[in-house]
Structure 1
Amino acid sequence: MDSFRKIDIDQYDEDAITNEELVEPYPRSAADALADAKAKSTEVRSLIGRGDTAGALTLVLSDYPYGPNVEEAKQVTLHSLLEIVNSTKSSDIPAAVKSLHTDHRDALMKYLYKGLELGGEGEGINCAVLLGWHERLTEVAGTGCIVRVMADRRRV
C-alpha cells in the first residue's frame, strides 16, 4: 500500500542536481589517497607516542580524503583519528582543539559525526569519548562549526 513512497521521483526530473555535480571529486587517485593515509597513520602513531596530540590531529586533518572513490583511505584516516581521540586525556582536549585551524576543527567535527554514525559497529569507537570531544570542540569553535559541517557536501 505504501510502495509509492519508495519511488525516486528525481530520476524523472531532467533538471535534478546530483551530489557529484555539487561537489568536486577528490583530486587524487584512490591508490595515492590510500598510500598517503597509511603513511599518515604511521606518523600519527609516532606523534601519539611522543604525546603530540595537536600535531597528530593537524597531520590527519590536513588534506583528508572525501568523496565516493576513496573509501579505503577514508577508513584508514578514520581509524587514525580514533587512535588519537581514544589516547588523549580529557584534560588535554581543550588545548589540542584550540591549537587547530578553523578548517581542521570543521574536519574534526566531520570525523566525530562519522564515528558517532558508526556507533558500536566498528571496533575502537567509543561514543562517550566522541561526545566528550564534541563538547570541547563546540566550546572552542562554537555552533558555527556544526552548521558548516552539516552544510558541507564533502563526506568523510
Structure 2
Amino acid sequence: MSFRTIDVDALDEEQLAQEELFVYSDGIEIDPQEALNNVQTKSIEVRNLLTKNNPENALITAINDPPYGLNTTAAKELNAKIVMEVLNSIKATDILPLIKKLSIEQQDILMKYIYRGMAFSGKASDKPKTGASPPPPEPFNSAVLLNWHEKLTEIAGVGCIVRVITDRKTV
C-alpha cells in the first residue's frame, strides 16, 4: 500500500466535521426555517432604522447574529442583501467613525459580508443558462465595497482579513 493513497484525515479522531460547526452549545442544530424567519424580522427592523436615518444602529443590527448553517442559504442571501443595503446607504465620510464604534467581532463579520459582496460580479457568464437553476445573487456596488474594505482594513488591520479567510463559518 502506497502512503499516497492513505486518507490521513479519516484517521484523525479529533477532526472537526462541517456539521459540528453549526450546532448551538446546548447540542441543538440550527433550523433553516427559523434562521430565515429571524433574518426576515431583522430585515424589517433594519429598514425601519434606515428610514429613521439611523445607519449606525442599522449596520449593527444587520451584522449581529448572522445566519450560519449548512442549509441556511436563503437566510444568508437575504442577510447579505440587508447588509449591502445598509453599506450603500452610509455616506463615505461616515464610514470611518462608524467602523471605530464596532467591536472586533463585528468588524470581522462586516469584512465577511464585504468579501461576500465582492464575490458576485454580476457578469452575464454568471447567469444560469436553464430555467431550472436558481437565479444568481444580485451584484453589489464594487466601488462602495472597496471603499468599506479600505477603511475597515485601516482600522482593523490585516488580522481581520486573516481571521475572515480562515474562519470556517461563512455568511
TM-score in same-fold range (> 0.5): yes
For the Cα contact (< 8 Å) 1:119–1:126, is it kept in 2?
no
TM-score (norm: length of structure 2): 0.77
Q: Residue in 1 aligned with 2:157?
A: 142
Q: Residue in 1 aligned with 2:90?
A: 88
SS at match of 1:119: coil
For the Cα contact (< 8 Å) 2:62–2:82, is it kept in 1?
yes
Distance 1:124 1:49 in 2: 23
Greater Rg by CA: 2
**TM-aligned CA deviation for residue 14 of structure 1:** 2.6
Distance 1:10 1:133 in 2: 45
Greater helix fraction, Structure 1 or Structure 2: 1
Distance 2:22 2:165 in 1: 17
Distance 2:6 2:165 in 1: 22
Structure 1 residues 37 and 146: alpha-carbon distance in aligned structure 2, compared to 1, 3 A threshold: same
For the Cα contact (< 8 Å) 2:32–2:69, is it kept in 1?
no
Distance 1:19 1:112 in 2: 26
Distance 1:109 1:59 in 2: 15
Distance 2:101 2:19 in 1: 34
Please report the RMSD computed on the Cα atoms of aligned residues, expressed in angstroms: 2.2
SS at match of 1:120: coil
**TM-aligned CA deviation for residue 23 of structure 1:** 2.4
- List per-residue Cα deviations over 1:34-55 (Å, max 9, x = no partner): 0110011111111112222221
Bigger CA drift: 15-24 or 65-74? 15-24
Q: Residue in 2 aligned with 1:113?
A: 115
**Percent of pairs identical after alignment?**
40
For the Cα contact (< 8 Å) 1:82–1:124, is it kept in 2?
no
Distance 2:87 2:121 in 1: 15
Bigger CA drift: 115-124 or 67-76? 115-124
Q: Residue in 2 aligned with 1:6?
A: none
- List per-residue Cα deviations over 1:31-90 (Å, max 9, x = no partner): 111011001111111111222222111111111112321111101100000100111111
Distance 2:108 2:36 in 1: 22
SS at match of 1:97: helix
